[in-house]
């Protein structure tokens, strides 16, 4: 971009600018400076050659020679762009707060008070079969809140995000029967919703079952029920669904939430157990939380010392109180697995060593193969409240529950069937007594087992 001659501009003569289209942003900035420059007085003529002509038109209103109007009303294209308005804060209802991912919450253009007044009458009528336009008209008349014909859809999605509406997914009993034939001595639930990329239904269905167990445990003995939460996207969705039930229950049993893994600094901080705790706030919830304030990966020789550190020692000491532990799996091939992510940064060579040893997957960032848990390699290990053998022991106890949730990767939809197979075949990896699987993974596992037998 060349401007010439600048001296003439200062002398209120006919400046002559040549703007090259290769730098449109710079040209725009220059054009703006010309309009507001204190050196250019009212009446200054500006002669501009611009290439391509399109730029001249867009910046200077299609005039090659025009008069500066005393900095009064520059062409709209010359004004500095208004900063794009930050996305409007989604209104939060006073009574109903979404407990799932922000991207799952539909944008509704009502105030919190309007949501409180309209949410139930809208859902009630909509689920009774009334068309959305009729619902909108009826609720507008009833509450005085003006509704568009599409608002009932949005409010229905909002209610689902708040946990007020729960659609119970079907179970695939034939596939469940196939798992029962394997004499796994555990409860296997196959959620029959094929083709889901990022399924909320597996963790949602698991939350329903866990809440049943919470009620049974609370009825059997005094004191709070202790829940251990692992890391990851699936566990986060589980925690959100469980929190929705707990918050809405007038007689909600008191819970103690235990983090099974430390807060991770490299992974998505919203997918760590510490981030799940606030989901349980509000409503009728009564919760206490036990964090695991430790590093993610440590040297093996430091592990005993770490377990004795203040606060960390409390987390480990209270691990035995946990009634229900909930975790999920990562496949060794999935680039979104946390263990693979950490090792890529810390020790990429270890990934090759694990793969060479037959790495299938990891639970609680502890890797395993077809024949059992892997021993620690190259002096590095993940911090977790329970190692795999401890989960196996816990799953054997009749009054303890270990839930393993398996659905496709929430980011790339990669299958976790290869990570699940060893958990079904190898006794030293029987880390579960409740297994929740999505249809596609279950189908793949049963087909693979059939082929091998």
Question: 100: closest CA among 201, 229, 224?
Answer: 201
For Zn ion, give the closer residue by CB, 196 or 323: 196
For Zn ion, give the closer residue by CB, 151 or 440: 440
For Zn ion, give the closer residue by CB, 90 or 336: 336
d(CA 179, CA 183): 7
DSSP character for 186? Answer: S
DSSP bridge partners of 289: 257
| 357: number of Cβ within 10 Å | 13
Residue 407: CB minimum distance to Zn ion, A: 11
d(CA 70, CA 424): 80
For Zn ion, give the closer residue by CB, 178 or 444: 444
Give just the sign of the alpha carbon dihedral 426, 431, 433, 437: negative
Strands 401-406 and 65-67: unpaired
DSSP character for 318? Answer: G
d(CA 260, CA 277): 12
Residue 338: CB minimum distance to Zn ion, A: 11
Residue 158: CB minimum distance to Zn ion, A: 29
Residue 267: CB minimum distance to Zn ion, A: 13
Residue 411: CB minimum distance to Zn ion, A: 5
Give just the sign of the alpha carbon dihedral 330, 334, 338, 343: positive
Residue 190: CB minimum distance to Zn ion, A: 21
- Contact set with Zn ion (CB under 5 A): 334, 336, 409, 411-412, 414
For Zn ion, give the closer residue by CB, 323 or 440: 440
Residue nearest to Zn ion (CB): 409
Residue 412: CB minimum distance to Zn ion, A: 3
Q: Are 78 and 35 in contact (CB under 8 A)?
A: yes
Q: Are 226 and 192 in contact (CB under 8 A)?
A: no
| 215: number of Cβ within 10 Å | 15
For Zn ion, give the closer residue by CB, 323 or 334: 334
Residue 240: CB minimum distance to Zn ion, A: 20
- The four Cα atoms 219, 221, 224, 230 give a dihedral, to 10 degrees, of -90
For Zn ion, give the closer residue by CB, 228 or 232: 232
For Zn ion, give the closer residue by CB, 312 or 409: 409
Strands 45-51 and 187-191: unpaired
């Amino acid at each position: 971009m060349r401007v010439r001659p600048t001296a003439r501009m200062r002398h209120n003569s006919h400046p002559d600018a040549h703007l090259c289209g290769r730098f449109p942003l710079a040209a725009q900035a220059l054009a703006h400076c010309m309009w507001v420059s204190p050196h250019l007085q009212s009446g200054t003529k500006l002669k501009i050659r611009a290439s391509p002509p399109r730029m001249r038109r867009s910046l200077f209103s299609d005039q090659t020679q025009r008069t500066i109007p005393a900095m009064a009303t520059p062409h709209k294209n010359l004004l500095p762009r208004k900063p794009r308005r930050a996305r409007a804060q989604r209104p939060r209802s006073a009574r109903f707060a979404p407990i799932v991912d922000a991207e799952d919450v539909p944008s509704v253009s009502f105030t919190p008070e309007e949501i409180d007044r309209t949410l139930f009458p809208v859902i009630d009528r909509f689920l009774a079969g009334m068309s959305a336009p009729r619902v909108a008209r009826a609720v507008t008349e009833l509450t005085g809140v003006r509704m568009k014909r599409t608002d009932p859809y949005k409010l229905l999605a909002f209610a689902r995000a708040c946990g007020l509406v729960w659609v119970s997914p079907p179970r695939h009993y034939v596939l469940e029967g196939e798992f029962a034939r394997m004499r796994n001595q555990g409860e296997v639930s196959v959620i029959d919703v094929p083709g889901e990329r990022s399924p909320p239904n597996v963790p949602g269905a698991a939350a329903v079952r866990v809440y049943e167990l919470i009620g049974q445990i609370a009825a059997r003995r005094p004191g709070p029920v202790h829940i251990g939460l692992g890391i990851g996207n699936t566990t986060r969705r589980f925690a959100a669904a469980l929190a929705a039930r707990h918050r809405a229950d007038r007689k909600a049993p008191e819970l103690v939430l235990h983090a099974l893994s430390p807060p991770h600094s490299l992974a998505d901080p919203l997918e760590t157990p510490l981030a799940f705790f606030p989901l349980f706030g509000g409503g009728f919830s009564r919760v206490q939380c036990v964090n695991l304030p430790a590093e993610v990966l440590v040297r093996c020789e430091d592990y005993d010392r770490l377990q004795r550190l203040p606060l960390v020692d409390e987390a480990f000491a209270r691990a035995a109180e946990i009634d229900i532990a909930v975790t999920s799996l990562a496949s060794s091939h999935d680039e979104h697995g946390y263990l693979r992510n950490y090792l890529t940064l810390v020790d990429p060579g270890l990934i090759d060593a694990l793969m060479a040893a037959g790495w299938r997957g990891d639970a609680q960032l502890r890797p395993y193969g077809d024949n059992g848990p892997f021993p620690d390699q190259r002096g590095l290990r993940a911090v977790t409240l329970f190692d795999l053998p401890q989960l196996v022991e816990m799953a054997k106890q009749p009054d303890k529950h270990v839930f393993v949730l398996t659905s496709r990767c929430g980011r790339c939809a990669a299958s976790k069937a290869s990570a699940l197979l060893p958990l079904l075949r190898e006794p030293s990896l029987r880390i579960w007594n409740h297994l929740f699987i999505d249809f596609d993974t279950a189908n793949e596992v049963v087909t693979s087992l059939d082929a091998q037998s």
